[in-house]
Structure 1
């Protein structure tokens, strides 16, 4: 069988050399056509949920959730973050209005805090005790509100605060509240004196809510009009959102932070991160590979031939990907960098063998045919085993790696075809034969390796066996956020969602048939220890509404009177500022009151009209906003399911009558252990539950199993294939030994360096089998060709193995520079794996040969001795 392969390859190379000009022209035309097709048809999909088998039960549940409530995947979320509630609410309200006007690219907008329904009925959602406290605070401020409604000027505010009797009579504000107002005023006056914008927080003065650990957050949900003719269908909407944000930020300089997140934004930024990273890695790897080829060949002509064959391989494989899959994912997109390394292996082995024979005095034609006889069969075996390794990915339930298996497996076969067809044609078309140069440094390097191989091999095997103890500690990080650039705006915003129980993205959801079933599920879930709360549409109907409406109606009398006071503007005299300064100096010697007194004195001494006007603008910047919200709050009315706003209802009740119940985690589920506890506990009670938390856990389980399956299948397929060809178990064992050691060492290194497996780098171990066995095949078969007693280090094969591995390391190592953390981790782990593979192949395998030869010689000597004794 091997002889047949050898004779066919020699015949094929001779045919390619004879028809060199037609072959070269054909490849150039095919490459141009393939390049056009790839550029116009190949797309990229960064959705990690679509990298798994859609027929898996949890995938079907997730699809049912997305179909019933598509906004989960389609909505762009704008997070507004501010130090004061006034700024957060004002910005969110203005943004909501601007986005509603963008109806050509945005089909719906939902800003919970700014929806008219919640502005009017928001007080009903407070606990009764909190509502009483809030209304009491507002009632105490009724006098002050009335005074400022009549005359909203700084002079009026200062005079009112200064007049302690009037304050007690009109506002009945306690000293604690006054201290908060004085502290806020001091900050406003200080910023105004410095020429800065610093609005007074009226909502804070009325105790309208405490900020979270990240300040006050307001969310605006925008449903984009999808343009599926684009690579990123939501991009026009995202661009419009960012333009509107930029326009608003000019009126909120430095006081409001905004983050655009949600699935479309996350995927868009990830796509840019991945493509930018892959593009940079490709260019860098191309440059490094070119340099390594010059060192390997010491010939610009042979380096050019190799790079030409690589270019053809990449373009043809990319066109195949466009035809076979049409859409790359986060795993399969790495095939371009993958083939920069793998696509060179065949060319390097073939051309270094040609160079070896040219150095022995043969003409280029004889050198080519001799090299094809020596290395062609090994190349064919390597291509077959590597392709089989990649194709072993296909049966797994992990569609992401299955797709890579199809593309990379075909790519390896294309690379082999190009090497045995296009390269002989190019060598025949070169204007004159290449004159090889000696490489003494490389020979000395291999001589040193040969001397040290025994102890190094023993140490490597010992380390490989010891590393097996760390294998159980290897883990898979199934969180897709771990792959993304942590500094990107969408990821920072996404992490902010975890700071509020109501916005946690990693929750679980259950689909039920009606409101009663939703109520029962929510009540049952609340008894689960790992569940902090449950949300369904009925939960948005406030409790104790009769009592709360009575409290609101009771407080409305004085407050509505204050809010509807007739304006009676008074000309500013400056007396209020002086009166408040005097009052504070008389009554206080420290604290915010004393600080405010000093600042007011500075403002009075400056006597600058512009400064005083700035103080007034800052104080009353959000006053109209406050009055508008207060008026709305006293329009509260009884709420039932039918009166809930449609924008809210369709998030929990689909048009087809499917109801959604959300379960919120009690722990931070960004911790894998906490996520597992949450998912396991809820799944035990609700087997059909779905959602981001379950997707993350189940994906990890499926992918881990898929990798074990792919690795095991690849190992079995490779072993069977090699045995069928060579029919010697010892040779098969020697070919596989280096990659088994490398796999154990790589796994241990990942544990020690805390590089977990993820969606991107999970291909390392099965990939290691395909790449690693190639070198073993070349060394084993070359050892079989040379005379007994001669070392393989004296041939060109170790040199070819070294530079083939170095070019592969260079191509993968460049991935470490990618801003996409998943791609970078792929580069890290693959570089480690290939380094171990190189050591195991060049050191352990030849040492194993010598050990085997020594044992064979000893057995032969013993047999001769027994025969002599028998005679």
Structure 2
């Protein structure tokens, strides 16, 4: 989907077929290089690294867009194809190369973090971007100049309406900056309300059965499927720790081996003997091989449905609403079963019900046999506990495990932090899923923030080497700063918080957003004219921005809510940075030019036609 969208945008923007196809072909070569690199270095992909392909499609095609756009502009001036490709490779090529390095730096900065998944994501994507650049500056130029249909009558490389629109902010730079500053100030005031959502359940696919089950358990107020874990060496210590843990406000219950040693052992032995006496003469046959008689079953279910209806009426009269809702749920289940029997394949349903009936009877038989064979001797020893239960609480080394269940929803960050803090107050070495989630989410969030700072530092260094001017570096980063503030405002308005997936946008937006600023400043250094949309550079910035949006936007097709939010936030962030680069930056350059500021010269190539 990503590569199709990118190709269509490319073809539409350039109003031409074969050159965009050649760029896509060069990109395909780069993607193959990247897949080979990922195989050799890591050998596998994880939940994070699997997203690199659509991202590289959106980012890698930008090199071809800028190269072809400048190539066409030079052809439209009457330049020979050989000289046109030289100018494009040298003049625009410097921006392409620097832009590639800054974006790759944003990815590679993730390699300095302590989170393995982020490290692999950064290395694969960063190196992949450089690998995509190689065919773009070797294979693509060769394809462009060897084409038989090269002409100097290339279609106009900008649209008049775009050029006329640009004159508004170029001719009125102070007004443009005033409006942008007001909007940015308002956006910044809203961005202060931007929150971070640690809840991993909200990142999963909405229809996932495990997620739905967890929500049902949370809403029902029963035990969560996740719990804290405390280990101890002796039964006495386990009893002591259990009492301490059960006294905590954030703990609902504690399960351990201690429960089997509580109370009067003699009284328990008597109860076991009584149960064995009751079950001694009960024998359950397991020889049930015939199919279920659906007609007879339907009559029975119909009768049950009627009795349930009468019971619902009686419980409603007596005000027993809890029992009434349970009976209604059971009656609805009976109705659905009868409908399935009526509408389904009779033979298949009969066989399935027979298999279920046999499994149920066997389960009941085994349970009764286990009860009959209970050992009533005392006191109870660990080896007396059934293996299925003992293996849950006793490790191979003899350590005893305590399962600590939270009282509140520990998927919520506040509850999670309190629960982890409480059980660590009893045992500093406590572990379990809530503790792991707490540490994991902290590490992941901090790793991305750390990667953003590394990314910013590397990009500043690369830009400083390229422009040899601190002011130029600040100007290149200006669209990123403005675009990120606008993005934060949109996220607050749309109620989309940062989460553990879309926070990746922090290092990425710095690398992706600064590329537009670099290309615009490069063209300004070449011609000393802040107008962009009237040249191939403006056209390329728009096209590359749209293809990047398409690359990341394709992630929104996934059912995983975390991946969806990553695609959405990065796509919107790319658009805001691009708009800021095309409006705010030229207006600033116009004012600086009017005040006599000149960007430091870069060695550009000028050739005769």
The residue that corresponds to 1:345 in the other structure is 62
- CA 1:510–1:467 in structure 2 vs 1: closer, same or farther (change >3 Å)? farther
2:125 to 380, 390, 408: 408
- Residue in 1 that maps onto 2:74: 357
The reply on whether 1:395 has 2:96 as its aligned counterpart is no
Distance, in Å, in 2 between the alignment partners of 1:560 and 1:536 is 28
CA contact (8 A) 2:552 2:567 kept: yes
Aligned to 2:187: 467
Equivalent residue of 1:492, what SS?
helix
SS at match of 2:110: coil
Q: Indicate whether 1:514 and 2:258 are aligned.
A: no
Taking structure 1 as reference, are residues 545 and 435 closer, same or farther at Cα in structure 2, changes over 3 Å only? farther
Max Rg structure: 1
Residues 228 and 431 in structure 2, CA contact (< 8 A), matched pair in contact too: yes
- Matches of residues 368-447 of structure 1 in structure 2 within 5 Å? 368-434=85-151, 437-439=154-156, 442-447=159-164
Question: Is 2:35 the partner of 1:318?
Answer: yes
User: Which protein, 1 or 2, shows the higher relative CO under an 8 Å CA cutoff with sep ≥ 6?
Assistant: 2
CA distance in 1, matches of 2:469, 2:6: 36
Residue 144 of structure 1 is matched in structure 2 by none
Instruction: Specify the alignment match of 1:856 in structure 2.
Output: 596
Q: Is the 8 A contact 1:707 1:763 kept in 2?
A: yes
Alignment of 1:797-812 (within 5 A): 797-812=537-552
Written as runs of structure 1 = structure 2, the 5 A alignment for 1:72-471 is 284-434=1-151, 437-439=154-156, 442-452=159-169, 454=173, 455=175, 457-471=177-191
Q: Report if aligned partners of 1:389, 1:770 keep a CA contact under 8 Å in 2.
A: yes
**Partners of 1:742 and 1:837 within 8 A in 2:** yes
**Separation in 2, partners of 1:349, 1:495:** 49
What SS does the corresponding residue of 2:86 show, helix, strand or coil? helix
Kindly provide the CA deviation profile for residues 421-449 of structure 1, in whole angstroms up to 9, marking residues without a partner as x.
Answer: 11112123323315554348723223213
Is the contact made by 1:563 and 1:627 (CA closer than 8 Å) also made in structure 2? no
The match for 1:659 is 400
Offset at residue 563 of structure 1 (A): 5.0
Identify the match of residue 821 of structure 1 among 561, 574, 591: 561
Q: Secondary structure at the match of 2:431?
A: coil
Match of 1:547 in 2: 267
Deviation at 1:344, TM superposition (A): 0.8
Aligned CA distance change for structure 1 residues 516 and 369 (closer, same or farther; 3 Å):
same
Q: Find out whether 1:725 has 2:442 as its counterpart.
A: no
C-alpha distance in 1, partners of 2:237/2:167? 74
TM-score, normalised via structure 2 length? 0.79
Between the two proteins, the alignment pairs up a number of residues equal to 528
Deviation at 1:354, TM superposition (A): 0.3
- Kept in 2, the 8 Å contact 1:355–1:436? The answer is no
Q: 1:388 to 1:656 in 2, by over 3 A?
A: same
* Alpha-carbon distance between aligned partners in 2 of 1:688 and 1:516, rounded to the nearest angstrom: 18
Aligned to 2:325: none
In structure 1, how many angstroms separate the alpha carbons of the residues matched to 2:181 and 2:58?
26
Conserved 8 A contact 1:396-1:706: yes
Change (3 A) 1:399 1:464: farther
Give 1:564 shift: 8.2
- Cα distance in structure 1, aligned partners of 2:444 and 2:282: 62
Give the Cα–Cα distance (whole angstroms) in 2 for the partners of residues 351 and 669 of structure 1.
53
The answer to whether the 8 A contact 1:293-1:303 is kept is yes
Secondary structure, counterpart of 2:187 in structure 1: helix
Distance in 2 separating the partners of 1:371 and 1:628: 80
Match of 1:485 among 199, 205, 209: 205
| 1:640-698 superposed Cα distances (whole Å, 9 cap, x missing partner) | 32211222222222212333222110112232221121112222332211111112222
- Which runs of no fewer than 5 residues in structure 1 stay unpaired? 1-283, 566-576, 578-583, 593-613, 859-871
| Residues 857 and 778 (structure 1), Cα distance of their counterparts in 2 relative to 1, 3 Å cut | closer
User: Any idea what SS the aligned residue of 2:206 has?
Assistant: coil
> Does the C-alpha gap of structure 1 residues 560 and 450 become closer, same or farther in structure 2, counting only changes over 3 Å?
same
Residue aligning to 2:581: 841
Distance 1:681 1:842 in 2: 53
The answer to whether residue 455 in structure 2 is matched with residue 714 in structure 1 is yes
Picking from 502, 505, 516, the partner of 1:761 is 502
Partner of 2:328: none
Checking the alignment, whether the CA contact within 8 Å between 2:532 and 2:582 is kept in structure 1 is: no
- Identify which range, 336-345 or 508-517, moves more after superposition: 508-517
Change in 2 beyond 3 A, CA 1:737/1:591: closer
Deviation digits for residues 811-834 of structure 1 (CA, Å, limit 9, x no counterpart): 111211111212111111111111
Mark the CA change 1:405 to 1:550 in structure 2 (over 3 Å): closer, same or farther: same
| Equivalent-residue separation in structure 1 for 2:405 and 2:369 (angstroms) | 34
Higher deviation after alignment, 823-832 or 484-493 = 484-493
1:717-736 CA-to-partner distances (Å, cap 9, x unmatched) read 21233223322222111100
> Contact between 2:479 and 2:584, CA under 8 Å: does it hold in 1?
yes
Instruction: State the match for 1:527 in structure 2.
Output: 247
- Return the alpha-carbon distance in structure 1 between the equivalents of residues 123 and 362 of structure 2: 63
- Over 3 Å counting, the alpha-carbon distance change for 1:333 and 1:434 in structure 2 is farther
Separation in 2, partners of 1:658, 1:333: 39
Within 2, Cα distance between the matches of 1:555 and 1:406? 64
Q: Distance in 2 between matches of 1:564 and 1:488?
A: 41
C-alpha distance in structure 2 between counterparts of 1:479 and 1:636, whole Å: 44
The alignment partner of 1:792 has SS state of coil
Residues 532, 724 of structure 1: alpha-carbon distance in 2 compared, 3 angstrom cutoff: same
Question: Hey, what's the Cα distance between the residues in 2 that align with 1:403 and 1:301?
Answer: 35
Q: Distance in 2 between matches of 1:631 and 1:510?
A: 34
TM-score, length basis structure 1: 0.56
- CA offsets 1:149-176 (integer angstroms, 9 cap, x no match): xxxxxxxxxxxxxxxxxxxxxxxxxxxx
Pair 1:319–1:564, CA change in 2 (3 A)? closer
Does the 8 Å CA contact 1:505/1:692 hold for their aligned counterparts? no
Once residues 560 and 275 of structure 2 are traced to their aligned partners in structure 1, the CA distance between those partners, rounded to angstroms, is: 56
- The answer as to whether partners of 1:746 and 1:833 remain within 8 angstroms in 2 is yes
Determine the structure 2 residue equivalent to 1:785.
Answer: 526
CA contact under 8 A between 2:100 and 2:133: conserved in structure 1? Answer: yes
Q: Distance in 2 between matches of 1:718 and 1:737?
A: 13
Q: Write the distance in 2 (CA, Å) between the matches of 1:540 and 1:742.
A: 62
**CA spacing shift, 1:435–1:857, aligned 2, 3 Å:** closer
Which one of 439, 445, 459 corresponds to residue 704 of structure 1? 445
1:502 shift after superposition: 7.9
User: Against the structure 1 CA distance between its residues 332 and 591, is the aligned structure 2 distance closer, same or farther, given a 3 Å change threshold?
Assistant: closer
Instruction: Look up the match of 1:264.
Output: none
- Cα distance between partner residues in 1 of 2:67 and 2:364: 79
- Could you report, residue by residue, the CA deviation over 1:304-356 in whole angstroms, capped at 9, with x for unpaired residues? 11110111111111111111222222222111011111101111101100000
Contact 1:301 1:434 in 2 (8 A): no
C-alpha contact 2:198 2:499 (8 A) present in aligned 1: yes
Distance (Å, rounded) in 1 between the aligned partners of 2:221 and 2:389: 17
- Kept after mapping to 2: 8 A contact 1:711/1:766: yes
Task: Return the offset for 1:499.
Answer: 6.8
